[in-house]
Copies of this chain bind each other. A is one copy, B any other.
Amino acid sequence: MTFSRVVALSGGVGGARFLDGVARALAPGALTAIVNTGDDFTHLGLTICPDLDTVMYTLAAVGDEERGWGLQGETFAAMAMVKRLGGPDWFNLGDRDLATHLLRTEALAAGQSLTAVTARLCAALGVGARVLPMADGPCRTMIETVADGTLPFQEWFVGRRAQPMVRAVRFDGHPPAAPGVLAAIAEAELVLIGPSNPYVSIDPILSLDGVAAALARKPVVAVSPIVGGRAVKGPLGAMIPALTGAPPTAGAIARHYGGWLRGIVVERGDEGGVAGMAVRSTDTIMRSREERLRLAKETLAFAAELVA
């Protein structure tokens, strides 16, 4: 079948690249992305939404592909001056990227919702897919470390380079899912989970009231963020053993999502540990926009077989 209403859950870089492929594989308007906001934080008085921004920039084809965050051709004059003026420099923000944070922060302060601001920014950048933050209210991912106490996600991830070993992940705040999130899932023919970190990028979405129940009524297909026993990007490779005692494999991802997953797409050779669901193996590393499209098409074809 050809899907005309697809929902995809996503974190930042890997998820965003997959979304870009899915958006282009489907008809215009067929994709709704539900994006993690657990990493959001306030810096220099600005509301920063790293995953939303990466998704937005990637879908608009203006993101810096090399660095994985921020905008192409970015400059960093403002942050250099912040440092000179004695301000914090542990979290870098590009000059053009600041425009997003300024407009968003101003709009939120004026009482607009994150959902509304995101829609407006996406429209300005010509993003065709519908991009929904998972929630308008705060839900903050907190990293409980073995030896350094509990740290807000960005302080652990950027400020401490994800070095302090993780004991548990929890979410502070329990907002309702953003308007449109539960309806989009209810109306979807298929739900995809991008190759994002399940603990810090997808679990915040699943923690929202009603999301898990809505997903349980839908065919859900995930793409594994693990390739050959390593995370393609980020701290996932160390988090899986720290949190589960098991090695970082596609099987660990499949077990984490559990019984409600209809199928999983894994890297060729990583099929071994996956049990209890359909598996499709292929090349999952997306080195180019063409590879995103190919992975998206293969995932949609696999899902079509499962749904048929």
Residues of A near any B CB (own CB < 8 A): 44-46, 71, 74-75, 77-82, 84-87, 94-100, 102-103, 105-106, 109, 120-121, 124-125
Contact = CB atoms under 8 A, between A and B. Distances in A.
Nearest to A77: B95
Nearest to A85: B124
Contact of A45 (B87, B96, B109): B109
Contacts of A121: 85
A87 B102 contact: yes
A121 B84 CA distance: 10
A96 B98 CA distance: 12
Contacts of A46: 102
Contacts of A105: 45
A79 B106 contact: no
A95 B94 CA distance: 9
A59 to B, nearest CB: 15
Contacts of A78: 78, 95-96, 98-99, 102
- Of all A-B residue pairs in the complex, the 6 with the closest CB atoms, nearest first, are A81-B99, A45-B106, A77-B95, A81-B96, A95-B95, A82-B99
Nearest to A125: B85
A157 B177 CA distance: 45
